[in-house]
Amino acid sequence: MVDYRVWKPDLEHPEKINALQKERWRHFKKLDSTVTASTDIHGLLQTEVKLRECIQCEMGIKDIIKDHQKRVFTEPGGPARYLPLIQAYQGDLAKVDQKYWLLERQWWSIRAAFIEGPFSHGIELWRSHPRWYMHRVLRDDCAGRGGCCGRKCGCCSNRQNLSTRKFAAGHCTVYCFCCQQARGFQLSHEQRVELRKRFDLSFHNGYFQRIRDASLLGILQHDDNNPFDLIDDPPAYKTCR
């Protein structure tokens, strides 16, 4: 029997971390399906996307409320026009907050079901770095989807600083307000549904595998670099907000 307890990262030889993370994944794949059945990787990553959607929707609503609050005092008839809108948006914020709370518990119910072992240890090692989500693969994916990593606003890098939202750290979703401003129009419900389908992490395909490897272990299957050297995080630019 393999004693995986001795599989510890050799910080003095960081080039070995890549091999360690890959070995942890290989060990997990060799386990019997009855053992790994509770490890819902698809569900974990999908829930993290939904959490980021909530946070980015919340940020967008707050930006709109700030704008309307200014207009209350600067535009003729401002109070009559904008105060009811502000009240409605505040109601939307409360709904988003409740949804986020429920999704946080959903995430934990999935993560807590992961079996203890090398794979879980690999996730903990990788995500112990506060900028893990700025992995080159994840940044390229964000830019390819039209997100802020394709511009110099610095939104993705700066999201890690939202201390009130544990899952704020991450990349753009269909609710990113900065992306909406950059493209010049708001996505319709139908367009959001279509974009979610295009980048659906419930399918076991090449896209899912790349996101899984980078997000959970920091690895590229055909690359031997130290995962932490693949964190591509330039100095934060001035945020667009």
What pLDDT score does 148 carry?
Answer: 96
What pLDDT score does 16 carry?
Answer: 84
Token pair, residue 168, equals: 């704020």
What pLDDT score does 12 carry?
Answer: 61
Spell out the domain ranges in the chain: 39-230
Distance CA 191, CA 79 (A): 33
Distances in Å between the alpha carbon of 170 and those of 45, 69, 115, 138? 11, 29, 25, 9
235 phi and psi angles, rounded to 5 deg? -55, 140
The answer to whether the CB of 21 falls within 8 A of the CB of 123 is no
Q: Would you tell me the crossing angle of helices 78-111 and 41-74 to the nearest 10 degrees? A: 170
Contacts of 42 (CB under 8 A, 6+ apart): 201, 202, 204, 208
Nearest to 16 by CA among 228, 232, 240: 228
Distances in Å between the alpha carbon of 138 and those of 113, 115, 157? 25, 25, 12
Side-chain-facing half-sphere of 47: CA atoms under 13 Å: 18
pTM: 0.89
- Mean pLDDT for each 10-residue chunk of the chain (241 residues)? 54 77 92 89 98 95 95 92 95 97 97 93 94 96 96 88 82 96 95 97 96 97 90 56 35
Reported residue count of the chain is 241
What pLDDT score does 238 carry?
Answer: 39
Helix (H) or strand (E) holding 21: helix 15-30
What pLDDT score does 181 carry?
Answer: 94
- Residues 142-180 as b/e (b if ≥16 CB within 10 A, e otherwise) read bbebbbbbbbebbbbbbbbeeeebebbbbbbbbbbbbbb
Distance CA 169, CA 145 (A): 17
CA angle at residue 124 from 231 to 108, to 5 degrees? 115
Q: Which residue has the tokens 């807590």?
A: 112
Query: Alpha-carbon torsion 220, 54, 187, 182, what sign?
Result: negative
Distance CA 93, CA 184 (A): 23
Q: Which amino acid is at 223?
A: D
What pLDDT score does 10 carry?
Answer: 62
